[in-house]
Structure 1
Amino acid sequence: MEGASGTDESGELPEADAPSEDADAPSEDADMSSGAFVVAQPFLRAAQVRLPEESPDPGVLPTITLLERAASRDADPDGLPLPADELLAGQYRLLRPLGHGWMGEVYLALDTNVDDREVAIKILHPDQAAAAAGALIRERRALVDLSHEDIIRVFNYGRHPEVGDFLVLQYVDGLTLEEVRARAQVNSDEFGGRRFHEFVLAYGVRILAALGYLDRLGKVYGDLKPDNVMHDGTTTKIVDVGSVREARSPGPTTEGFRAPTVGPHGGSTRRDDLFSLGETLRRLSGLGRSPRDLADLSSLDRLSGPADRPEDEATGTDALPEPPGMTAPPPKGLGLLSLARVLHRATRAKEAERFATAREMEEQLRGVFRELRSLRTGMETFEPSPLFLQSPYALDGGLGSAPPLTRWTAPDAPAAHAPPSPAEVAQRLPVPRPDPHDAQHTQVSRLADAAPEALLQHTAEWPETPEVHLLRCRIRLRVPGGRTDAAERELTAAEALIGPERAPYDWRLDWHRGLLALGRGQVGTARGHFDRVYAAIPGEYAPKLALGYCAERLGHWREALTFYEAVRLRNPSLGSAAFGAVRARLALGGEHSRDDAVRALDAVPQHSRHRTAARTAAVRVGVEHVRTAGRPEEAAERLREVLERLTRLFHAHGLTDEGARTRMTAEAWETVWGALTRGVLDAPGLAELAAGAGRRLGLPSDEPGLRRDLSGRYVALAHQAARSADPEDAAVAEILLDRAYEVRPLAFRHRRDSPWLGTRVTSRLRTIAHPPAPGGSAGTVRE
């Protein structure tokens, strides 16, 4: 192969003495100050590995520098096919052997016509010349024009009487990916421990760029494996370019990396190249012993393990069991499952089940990279989804809104954080981007949101295409009180147009089947459909959001939290993931569950459209924490935090609706009053709390003032209830008036056995809200 790789064609490392007892440790000369390790192992070439700064770019690699390059050693005339004083073709001075590829030997040489530039010369073995001459001629004519930064350059070609045909190639001296794997297995800290798997995906992204380039030329590589890719500095190079040929043409392949669909003489397609890349990446990560193991490693059953499974310190989710033989510590949380799934998709035995193009595979590798990085660092790694439009809905289940008026019918009842209904989620999950190849792509993309009946009318005359029917399927799920049968007919029509050959592998159909199942309340069935979508596009966030919801509805709280955290950490702006994680944490309970829930809500950034809902929910979760606080000092501290958050919510975080502000204030004042009545807050403590809250919030500083203000808030809520068109809200008005008179410091009270005052007040509220018609009379609130 081209370059001083230190390996032979079998991929085995050169024989060496046994390693010392402390072989896993860095040498005494290791530079630990800047993320660089210099490890000189007996069986590894001496090299320095310097980690890059943290970056969301999935193409960034470590800097690997060999401490002794082949070009730095003395010439070796004994191993050369020409005398030391003879120039090859009158131009190239051979220095030493470098290795061999499938067609011949490779030598280091100097180009005396270009400032003694270092080059690699590839010469056929004499006994192979006759059989391979045709291939070499085709190779030199086609490959000299190849120009891609991740493929080794072919500078020239020629013939020398004594050695035959030769190629002049770019000289690259680095570590092959097989050597990288061996180094990481000895000391994964060189590559950042768990971060190594992100670099594995970065290799994949870079190699896919080269494979995509070849595909556009109608060519395949055909023999991709770790020994044929070299890491030189911060770049990668595909070497041994003699493997490049026309698609389906004969050529070299390697057992263990060859796809099952490769022809008997090495005829390969682009999907076969993607299989070889998937197997190369699997070997680098050490996931399983063969592609067959990836099916088990990517099963959802791995998320529902024993209750005593250790918890992941970064995500708060159960740490998945580590598969044996991994090159480096496994990714955190859901990352291990997503990594196994993306490699499983690439290495499926059936060609139609693999990635169709290099671009399709690259999109999913990039998505899994973002997930792994965010789970490892806790930092956002955002990139717009290529396949889904971001939903404007937070799917908060009401937690992100001010408490409803019906909350005051049972104010002491424990809070219930119910998720939204399956039908609501079916309407509000992210929407797939329209297929750009669909005939109606432009019309579907430009369609403005409107009432479902109007949209159905507007699209009634559109030509039938898969995207039009999928759009109508989603619209029919939004029709109030509508039947799902019509949505199912639209989905069946889309499947028919896609055709029997493509439909079984089109994830859009499974996505809409999942939505349809949710519309019917069949959560378990929906989970199966979304699981298949996750298998097809493991780098996307939308199926993980859907699976988190399904797990939540099925009571699989750890599984739900694992999915929600993977989405939330990657893109904190997605309110749906944050609220799902909050519900899961509160359901799981634990000493720090409410603190962790509030941190997840605080992580929703200010620029997110869901920031106000998240800040509202943080206040409400804080209120619950105060009510359950056991120690007075803890309750006082939580109260201060709630009031500070309430001030920011009103004046910085966007809650401007007066009705909602009144309900939020009433709930907060209730909490302060409850702390007073329970004895966890005294009069000096209330005065200190009011002073700390500031004038803008207006918390009274003494008990009589607090009772008067709270009573006034109850009356204001009674006004809201009387004006509401919801019968349940209207019935709350009298309850709120009861509370107003119970809490106010004067002795006037509305009692059931003497209702005249309450009747007069509620009648007046009803008159204000619903003036009587001419000749009629005002109604009264029922006792």
Structure 2
Amino acid sequence: MVEPGLAAAPPPRPARVTLPAENPDPTVLPEITLRDRADSEGAGLAAPSGLPLPPGTLLGGQYRLVRALGYGGMGEVCLARDTNVDDRAVAIKMLHAELAEDSYRLLKGERRELVELNHDGFIRVFNYGHHPGVGDFLVLQYVDGLNLEEVRARAREHPEEFGHERFREFALAYGVRILAGLAYLHAPERGKVYGDLKPPNVMHDGSTTKLIDVGSVRRAGAPGLTTPLYRAPSVGAHGESESQDDLFSLGETLRTLCGLGATRHDLADLAALGPLDDASAGHRGLGLVSLARALRRATRTRRADRFANAREMSEQLRGVFRELRSLRTGAETFEPSPLFLQSAYALDGGLGAAPEVSRWAAPPSAPRYPPPGPPEVARRLPVPRPDPDDDHHGELSRLSDDDPAALLQHTGDWRDSPEVHLLRCRLRLRLAPDTDPDALPAAETALALAEDAIGPAKAPYDWRLDWHRGLLALARSRVAEARDRFDRVYGAIPGEYAPKLALGHCAEHLRRPHEALTFYEAVRLRNPSLGSAAFGAARARLALGGPDALADAIAALDAVPQHSRHRTAARTAAVRIHADHARDADGLGTALRGLAGLFSAHGLTDEQARVRMKAEVWGVAHRLLAPPDGAPRMTGAELRAVAARADPLLEFPPDERRLRKDLSRFYRGLALQAARDAPPRDTEVPLAELLLDRAYAVRPFALRHHRDTPWPGKKIRNWIRNNAPTQQGG
């Protein structure tokens, strides 16, 4: 049943729009009040044309007509006063059978159910009745604000009233509110659809929003009113609709409200990732892409390609709202993910820890900030939450995968289910291929079993399968294939952060630093506690270079909050980056201040790690005083000034001689660490001996040498040579 053509839009009504303070709540909206609201409710005004009966007529012996309000698909809507309830204002909806006979007959049978419809998202139906000359009518709650078509026009005319870019966040707030009402309507115990969702049917009155034309509400699958511009292709010829058709209409309503393209087909171009790898990505951000993807999924042609239900769509709109707000304000907009567990791993590529001893044997051309390898990323990305409907949801929610081999054994006799197979897939990925060559084939087998358990009807639309296929591709270092898989996941759940984190890592390895930065920043700004996003953003900033690269990289790491488990790693990385980029005494001083804070306030307590960090920073000072080529970049006087300002607990040396003495001592300590951690082999020069050579080279020149008290380096070298065979044999 198709509604008659829409009338021309009336002139804009005067209203006051009050912009709310910044708020991370995805349901907050401006306050909208009609300026002539008080007059419009007055009973003494002359009745405009269109009133079916004279003003003052008493309908059903109770409702006194005041004036016409408008015309809907099922008849006139009039303002009236309820003489039995303090003369409260109500809306009377006349039901004209000749306009929509099928809908009329359906509605007559469901009037009592409409009265019992009790949700804040819908206008209340107080009563129903019959009056000679008018026929049947409904008595509705009276609201009089701007409908969404009027809101859209006003936002276009006065964007400042809605905070300019903030208007898209408000559009999502409308969506979240409407979806709460649709979820109530679609619940199995009610089994209804709204059927005719469109901008004119959503009213914003003060701080409330209401779906106002409840005459279109009917049983799922029953005929009823629809509007061509917002009707899903899957709706029947007479308006037969299912719950996912309401989601389509909402998607079109929000697309129109946001002004995204002329038709829903334009969303495909807006949702593409292509433009993210150019220099404009940082200015554009990812929010528009995520918004377009959410609306595109809602408005797909086939029902199976859309969101499964109102709750799922609401979760994704809330996630897109958080992303848009964080990208616009730079402020955290955190809410725990409904679909992923937060990963305990920072994916820092080693930058968040004190340098490994082998760092001092690496060639100068070795990359300073390598990203974690694809197999490591596959093992450390966030894990999907178990499906609440899975048979093993309770047990799976209590598991920890710290020991994958033990957990595989523990779950070996569990009854098969999709989530059990997916868990086994991830556990196999956690097993190192060099110790278990069958790990990856076994992971692929487990994923195939999960797909069979989900079934051919649902598997093509289950994003969990694409997520795990992406992990498997990373584990085999097939990064381009992994990117395609994670892109599909992003299209299915555009409000989630985990697919964007995975796509950021793929972009890094595919040498697309702008794209990587775009993904990492979208995740980092939304939740600064996620160390993986902070480290990825810092690496991308440094890879892109530019005059602000260092400051921006450090800012991303500094933004990791104190309560984050990745705070110490982030501060360690900041010190190492400052040290690498120190070009003069000021740069050295900055690195020393960061080192003091790392030792005293940011949790680096391991003594061997402290020695390695000191060796790193002291080495920078030595390089500035005596660079291998070129003139010194720091004088002895500047070194003394830096030492005077440094934290006394660091015991930073004020002159070159003591600096060399400290460095020599540090290198001897590192040699001992290397000897304990990696016994020398007969086929290569031991790392410990290389470090001892450094210690010899840097130690200050001495005029005296006691033959009976050999230099400690000689003792260490003898200890290494004497103990190496024993260690190898053990």
TM-score, normalised by the number of residues in structure 1: 0.87
Q: Distance in 1 between matches of 2:649 and 2:510?
A: 44
Q: Provide, for residues 105-147 of structure 1, a one-character-per-residue CA deviation record: whole Å limited to 9, x for no partner.
A: 0111111221111111111348549776523423422211111
On the 8 A contact 2:107/2:218 being kept in 1, the answer is no
Q: Distance in 1 between matches of 2:724 and 2:649?
A: 33
The DSSP-based 3-state class of the residue aligned with 2:253 is helix
> Structure 1 residue 704: deviation in Å?
2.0
Query: Which residue does the alignment assign to 1:638?
Result: 587
On the 8 A contact 1:224/1:276 being kept in 2, the answer is yes
Structure 2 residue 380 is the aligned partner of structure 1 residue 428: yes
Query: Which residue does the alignment assign to 1:543?
Result: 499
Name the stretch that deviates more: 515-524 or 126-135: 126-135
Pick aligned residue for 2:239 from 241, 266, 272: 266
> Structure 1 residue 345: deviation in Å?
0.6
Name the stretch that deviates more: 565-574 or 138-147: 138-147
On the 8 A contact 2:470/2:486 being kept in 1, the answer is yes
Per the alignment, do residues 617 and 12 of structure 1 end up closer, same or farther by CA in structure 2, a change over 3 Å counting?
farther
Name the stretch that deviates more: 390-399 or 668-677: 668-677
> Structure 1 residue 174: deviation in Å?
0.4
The DSSP-based 3-state class of the residue aligned with 1:449 is coil
Pick aligned residue for 1:319 from 283, 290, 295: 283
Structure 2 residue 12 is the aligned partner of structure 1 residue 48: no
Per the alignment, do residues 743 and 164 of structure 1 end up closer, same or farther by CA in structure 2, a change over 3 Å counting?
same
On the 8 A contact 1:401/1:617 being kept in 2, the answer is yes
Structure 2 residue 28 is the aligned partner of structure 1 residue 60: yes
Query: Which residue does the alignment assign to 1:334?
Result: 286
Structure 2 residue 642 is the aligned partner of structure 1 residue 689: yes
Q: Distance in 2 between matches of 1:429 and 1:654?
A: 25
Pick aligned residue for 1:228 from 197, 201, 205: 201
Pick aligned residue for 1:488 from 436, 444, 460: 444
- Counterpart code for 2:622: W
Per the alignment, do residues 74 and 449 of structure 1 end up closer, same or farther by CA in structure 2, a change over 3 Å counting?
same
Query: Which residue does the alignment assign to 2:550?
Result: 594
> Structure 1 residue 304: deviation in Å?
3.0
Query: Which residue does the alignment assign to 2:6?
Result: 10
Structure 2 residue 258 is the aligned partner of structure 1 residue 285: yes
Query: Which residue does the alignment assign to 1:523?
Result: 479
Q: Provide, for residues 146-167 of structure 1, a one-character-per-residue CA deviation record: whole Å limited to 9, x for no partner.
A: 1111100111111122322111
- Counterpart code for 2:558: D
Query: Which residue does the alignment assign to 2:621?
Result: 672
Per the alignment, do residues 769 and 723 of structure 1 end up closer, same or farther by CA in structure 2, a change over 3 Å counting?
farther
Q: Distance in 2 between matches of 1:295 and 1:748?
A: 77
- Counterpart code for 1:275: F
Query: Which residue does the alignment assign to 2:71?
Result: 100
Per the alignment, do residues 294 and 126 of structure 1 end up closer, same or farther by CA in structure 2, a change over 3 Å counting?
closer
- Counterpart code for 1:607: H
Q: Distance in 2 between matches of 1:739 and 1:106?
A: 90
Query: Which residue does the alignment assign to 2:429?
Result: 477
Q: Distance in 1 between matches of 2:594 and 2:88?
A: 67
Per the alignment, do residues 337 and 769 of structure 1 end up closer, same or farther by CA in structure 2, a change over 3 Å counting?
farther
The DSSP-based 3-state class of the residue aligned with 2:490 is helix
Pick aligned residue for 2:693 from 732, 735, 738: 738
On the 8 A contact 1:722/1:765 being kept in 2, the answer is no
> Structure 1 residue 600: deviation in Å?
0.2
Which residues of structure 2 form unaligned runs of 5+?
none
On the 8 A contact 2:668/2:713 being kept in 1, the answer is no
> Structure 1 residue 188: deviation in Å?
1.5
On the 8 A contact 1:675/1:681 being kept in 2, the answer is yes
On the 8 A contact 1:723/1:766 being kept in 2, the answer is no
Q: Distance in 1 between matches of 2:404 and 2:75?
A: 68
Q: Distance in 2 between matches of 1:650 and 1:567?
A: 29
- Counterpart code for 2:520: Y
Query: Which residue does the alignment assign to 2:660?
Result: 707
The DSSP-based 3-state class of the residue aligned with 1:292 is helix
On the 8 A contact 2:500/2:523 being kept in 1, the answer is yes
- Counterpart code for 1:13: A
Q: Distance in 1 between matches of 2:304 and 2:362?
A: 57
On the 8 A contact 2:43/2:66 being kept in 1, the answer is no
Query: Which residue does the alignment assign to 2:325?
Result: 373
Q: Distance in 1 between matches of 2:723 and 2:290?
A: 56
Q: Distance in 2 between matches of 1:128 and 1:674?
A: 88
Pick aligned residue for 2:608 from 650, 653, 659: 659
> Structure 1 residue 468: deviation in Å?
0.9
Aligned residues: 708
Q: Distance in 2 between matches of 1:132 and 1:758?
A: 96
Query: Which residue does the alignment assign to 1:325?
Result: none
> Structure 1 residue 319: deviation in Å?
3.4
Structure 2 residue 730 is the aligned partner of structure 1 residue 766: no
Q: Determine what percentage of the aligned residue pairs are the same residue.
A: 62
The DSSP-based 3-state class of the residue aligned with 1:460 is coil
Q: Provide, for residues 385-407 of structure 1, a one-character-per-residue CA deviation record: whole Å limited to 9, x for no partner.
A: 11111111111101111111122
Structure 2 residue 41 is the aligned partner of structure 1 residue 71: yes
Q: Distance in 2 between matches of 1:475 and 1:91?
A: 70
Q: Distance in 1 between matches of 2:613 and 2:387?
A: 44
TM-score, normalised by the number of residues in structure 2: 0.93
Name the stretch that deviates more: 677-686 or 473-482: 677-686
On the 8 A contact 1:544/1:563 being kept in 2, the answer is yes
The DSSP-based 3-state class of the residue aligned with 1:600 is helix
Q: Distance in 1 between matches of 2:42 and 2:666?
A: 84
The DSSP-based 3-state class of the residue aligned with 2:236 is coil
Q: Distance in 2 between matches of 1:575 and 1:730?
A: 37
> RMSD value over aligned CA atoms?
2.4
Q: Distance in 2 between matches of 1:771 and 1:522?
A: 41
Name the stretch that deviates more: 162-171 or 544-553: 162-171
Structure 2 residue 353 is the aligned partner of structure 1 residue 383: no
Q: Provide, for residues 420-471 of structure 1, a one-character-per-residue CA deviation record: whole Å limited to 9, x for no partner.
A: 1111111111111111111122222222334322222222111111111111
On the 8 A contact 1:724/1:730 being kept in 2, the answer is no
Query: Which residue does the alignment assign to 2:226?
Result: 253
> Structure 1 residue 300: deviation in Å?
1.7
Q: Provide, for residues 348-400 of structure 1, a one-character-per-residue CA deviation record: whole Å limited to 9, x for no partner.
A: 00110100110000000001111000000001111111111111111110111
Structure 2 residue 675 is the aligned partner of structure 1 residue 722: yes
Q: Distance in 1 between matches of 2:453 and 2:722?
A: 59
> Structure 1 residue 85: deviation in Å?
4.2
On the 8 A contact 1:388/1:542 being kept in 2, the answer is yes
> Structure 1 residue 78: deviation in Å?
5.6
The DSSP-based 3-state class of the residue aligned with 1:319 is helix
Structure 2 residue 302 is the aligned partner of structure 1 residue 350: yes
On the 8 A contact 2:62/2:82 being kept in 1, the answer is yes
The DSSP-based 3-state class of the residue aligned with 1:594 is helix
Query: Which residue does the alignment assign to 1:168?
Result: 139
Per the alignment, do residues 772 and 356 of structure 1 end up closer, same or farther by CA in structure 2, a change over 3 Å counting?
closer
Q: Distance in 2 between matches of 1:11 and 1:502?
A: 43
Query: Which residue does the alignment assign to 2:518?
Result: 562
Structure 2 residue 552 is the aligned partner of structure 1 residue 603: no
Structure 2 residue 482 is the aligned partner of structure 1 residue 509: no
Q: Distance in 1 between matches of 2:119 and 2:78?
A: 23
> Structure 1 residue 748: deviation in Å?
7.4
> Structure 1 residue 293: deviation in Å?
1.2
> Structure 1 residue 682: deviation in Å?
2.1
- Counterpart code for 1:48: R
Name the stretch that deviates more: 296-305 or 284-293: 296-305
On the 8 A contact 2:196/2:225 being kept in 1, the answer is yes
- Counterpart code for 2:714: R
Which residues of structure 1 form unaligned runs of 5+?
1-7, 15-42, 311-316, 321-332, 630-634, 751-755
Q: Distance in 1 between matches of 2:43 and 2:624?
A: 80
